[in-house]
Chains A and B, each alone.
Chain A
């Protein structure tokens, strides 16, 4: 299986990564290598094997429904580039 440069561009856009033409080509070769590996794995007959979502055979732990966090807005926002009226400011987004 070989990816096209357009497909690489699409994946890059989804990941919000800007690639130059040279980077696109290099990324395509790397991705091709990964897909080669996947193809190899897909050749294994997995009939009757339950799909695995996590490598460990454990169940997730649960916490009780209780509020234990306190307001740490000032500390968190000290690291933010821009805030106002308690809000984080970001470049304008309207869908």
Chain B
């Protein structure tokens, strides 16, 4: 069987750390980077007799997520104990949800690939449930012992489980990115992958194309970057296919990805698979979420990426591609919206071109987030307005943008006007002045004139270029075209 005869099947489980101030079952802080164990309360370290009390903020974030993906927010859900022994889990069990999770179903639309090959796909979600994080084990040598830091113990997590709907590593990454953008968009998670706020587990299997039954899956644990997610899946898929083509079989297993070697290796086989013995936690009563609460949360939801995309297309006349790009992250969308608000709806397309073009390129080169852009939305809007009213051409605008980027023109919304005035960049639209330049150029380039009259359109463009050059780029190109043609045809 050749490589293309195999179909890849991927499902993802994402642990998204909820950005509450306090822990899910205690009033200890969740701030990152504190001294070891100073944010571990009696509940977090599981002293005898302590009881968990659920954080309203964590539940509210789960509701926000459920609403954002069109899921059912369960009117009643149940916390369960997931039992296993590990030193960073002081209770001997993790409080999680099992049979009745808080968020059930839902879907996310993803966009995969670039350009002509790009396509959209809807990934169904199985569930999302609330649970607590464990502490951290430090395996550096403490006289042959391990060190335990329980600051992270009890940090609220939303574990988001997808259906096995993805068919390539590219789709898995597109889904993970869409989910990452969404949790940040609705402000339930900071999305910081280096700090472990967004961690992915990938369930990967392959099956002969056309076969309905899924192959045996292996689960790759704890992937904390999109690049590792892609690399780990690609390696795992190839490993599974090679093994099957060599006549072997796949055993269900949990594997780890080693970023240094780019390989996955077995952590535990099915025989050692954890037997978690879930049961309802008697310390916690069922979580009941009323219709009124859901309605209140719905009232406070921001406009979601899909709705905003549709609005950009309908109201601003943007293409679906532009609208998708501009809603890829909350920050880009906010920047674009602020620019259009200042420049006016009629200039939305021009704003889009600058945000996705020159601005994105400069930010990328400087490795800056759009929120830290040296050019504020109002300043970009001020410049766009001058392009729109023909004060400057697009070519000159690049010079103006460069000046704005370097902080010329001041901090105000009129920075572009200051730059245009100070550097004398105002476009020449006085037809008398342009005609004067055209006459000079025609007199100096008799050969081009000859060629144009002989039917060479290229010669016309060369003449336009000469006139623009003579005006130092300040002549209005449209006007130059029109006047030059009129003169040549006279």
Residues of A within 8 A of B (CB): 10, 14, 16, 51, 53-54, 56, 58-69, 71-73, 76-77, 82, 84-95
Q: Find the residue from A51, A88, A89 having the highest chain B CB count within 10 A.
A: A88
Chain B hits for A89, CB < 8 A: 142-143, 145-148
Chain B hits for A14, CB < 8 A: 83, 275, 277
Asked whether A67 lies within 8 Å of B100 as measured between CB atoms, the reply is no
Asked whether A65 lies within 8 Å of B85 as measured between CB atoms, the reply is no
**CB under 8 Å from chain A, chain B span 269-302:** 275, 277, 280, 282, 284-288
Chain A hits for B86, CB < 8 A: 93
Selected contact of B149 from candidates A10, A72, A87, CB within 8 Å: A87
Give the secondary structure class of B's interface: loop
Take A59-B285, A94-B139 as given contacts and tell me if A72 and B42 are in contact as well, using a CB distance cutoff of 8 Å.
yes
Selected contact of A76 from candidates B40, B54, B146, CB within 8 Å: B40
> Which 3 residue pairs spanning A and B have beta carbons closest together?
A65-B57, A87-B147, A68-B27
A-B contact pairs, 25 of them (CB 8 A): A51-B99, A53-B280, A53-B286, A54-B78, A58-B285, A59-B288, A60-B287, A62-B54, A62-B59, A63-B54, A64-B56, A65-B20, A65-B57, A69-B26, A69-B27, A69-B29, A72-B42, A86-B149, A87-B148, A89-B143, A90-B87, A90-B145, A90-B146, A92-B146, A95-B268
**Distance between Cα atoms of A28 and B36 in the complex (Å):** 43
Chain A: CB-nearest residue to B41: A69
Take A62-B56, A77-B37 as given contacts and tell me if A92 and B144 are in contact as well, using a CB distance cutoff of 8 Å.
yes
**Distance between Cα atoms of A94 and B287 in the complex (Å):** 36
Whether B484 sits at the interface, judged by CB under 8 Å, is no
Give the A-B pair count, Cβ closer than 8 A: 128
Asked whether B146 lies within 8 Å of A63 as measured between CB atoms, the reply is no
Residues of B within 8 A of A (CB): 20-22, 26-29, 35-42, 45, 47, 53-59, 76, 78-79, 83, 85-87, 99-100, 137-139, 142-150, 267-268, 275, 277, 280, 282, 284-288
Q: How far in angstroms is the closest Cβ of chain A from B58?
A: 7
Q: How far in angstroms is the closest Cβ of chain B from A55?
A: 9
**Distance between Cα atoms of A85 and B53 in the complex (Å):** 30
Q: A62-B59, A63-B53 are in contact. List 4 more A-B contacts (CB 8 A).
A: A54-B78, A60-B54, A60-B284, A69-B27
Asked whether B286 lies within 8 Å of A59 as measured between CB atoms, the reply is yes
Chain A: CB-nearest residue to B26: A69
**Distance between Cα atoms of A41 and B269 in the complex (Å):** 35
Chain B hits for A68, CB < 8 A: 22, 27
Chain B hits for A62, CB < 8 A: 53-56, 59
Chain A hits for B38, CB < 8 A: 71, 73, 86
Chain A hits for B142, CB < 8 A: 84, 87, 89
**Distance between Cα atoms of A73 and B280 in the complex (Å):** 31
Selected contact of A59 from candidates B28, B146, B287, CB within 8 Å: B287
**Distance between Cα atoms of A51 and B77 in the complex (Å):** 12
